Amino acid sequence: MVLMGGKSSEREISLKTGRAVSRALKDMGHEVHELDLTPEIACELLRIKPDKVFIALHGPYGEDGRIQGLLDILGIPYTGAGVLGSAVAMDKEITKRLLSSEGIPTPPWRCVRRGEEPVWRDFPAVVKPADQGSSVGLSVVHSEAELGKAVKELFELTDKVLVESFIEGRDMTVAILKGKALPVIEIKPIKGIYDYESKYTRGKTEYTFLEEGELSERLQDTALRVNELLGLKDMARVDFRVDGEGNPYVLEVNTVPGMTELSLFPMACEKAGMSFKEMLSIILS
């Protein structure tokens, strides 16, 4: 079964991921049921009784431990991280606290909760929801006025907003498949910031594979440390910002990476010599 859709702001991307996975699994000879995340989900799962669920849900409800908990209760195996790893990785504030406790560099930050006024003096700064993916709601602000406006707007989407220092440098990402770090991808958005539009609009971003051996190893080693720290499994993607001196900072962790035609996880797998179908076989194994 492929579980997709849901009711998060990433629904459309989830549907694209789910359909791509479903098509490939059918081509591989699997009997595939496509299921949307609705209030009837538990009844549908009990009716179909799948051998395994491929979770293609992005964002709240699918990537934050809630659907994982339901599947655990029903005794149905599924792909990806479990309840704890999913919940922790989805909450950017908790992830950052854990990273900092283990000495893994991440940009300085402050968490602003609903009802609080943002206090921040170091501009430019990045503002984003603490519990969303796909760079939904992400913006870069340059003043206290812009910060206040951005935070207010995000409170329509979330109860917790993350403000962090803007690290001048390069965007990198490391995909992890079954505990193995894949080739590092450098992300070069045309407009300079890797936001939702840059991620999902063809031609808005250039992707290249990093050829700097020492930096690649450092990023891969750090990504594996993060993966182990959060207790993840099957697949994950760790996003970095690398400053001008080559120092990497962990930005966030994705436990259900996208599988669309523009997605980075299958791109890294292909570079490592795996087809899309081979990648799925490994994830399901």
* pLDDT, averaged in runs of 10, over the chain (285 residues): 91 93 96 96 96 95 96 98 96 96 97 92 94 77 95 91 96 97 94 69 86 96 98 96 96 93 91 96 96
Confidence at residue 39, expressed as pLDDT on a 0 to 100 scale:
93
User: What's the pLDDT at 135?
Assistant: 64
Sheet holding 54-55, edge to edge: 34-36, 2-4, 54-55
In the chain the domains, ranked by start, together with CATH numbers, are 2-79 (3.40.50.20), 88-105+168-284 (3.30.470.20), 109-165 (3.30.1490.20)
Q: Which of 134, 165, 227, 263 is catalytic?
A: 134
User: What is the rounded distance in angstroms from the CA atom of residue 170 to the CA atom of residue 248?
Assistant: 9
Told to judge if 10 belongs to the known catalytic residues of this protein, a careful annotator would answer yes
237 is catalytic: yes
What's the chain's length in residues?
Answer: 285
Distance of CA 134 to the CA centre of its chain: 7
- Does residue 65 contact residue 36 with C-beta atoms inside 8 Å? no
CB atoms within 10 A of CB 212: 13
Q: Which of 91, 164, 195, 239 is catalytic?
A: 239
Residue linked to tokens 């991620």: 199
Q: What tokens were used for 163?
A: 């403000």
Per DSSP, the residues of 114-163 read TTPPP---SSSEEEEETT--TTTT-EEE-SHHHHHHHHHHHTTT-SEEEE
State whether the Cα torsion 282-194-65-11 is positive or negative. negative
> Catalytic: which of 14, 227, 254, 263?
254
Provide the pLDDT for residue 261.
74
What is the full DSSP assignment across 200-239? HSTTSEEEEE---HHHHHHHHHHHHHHHHHTT--SEEEEE
Place of tokens 């339901």: 70
Please report how the helices 213-229 and 92-101 are oriented relative to each other, as an axis angle in degrees rounded to 10: 110
Reply yes or no on whether 217 is catalytic: no
pTM over 0.85: yes
d(CA 266, CA 99): 26
pLDDT for 179 equals 96
At 164 the pLDDT is 96
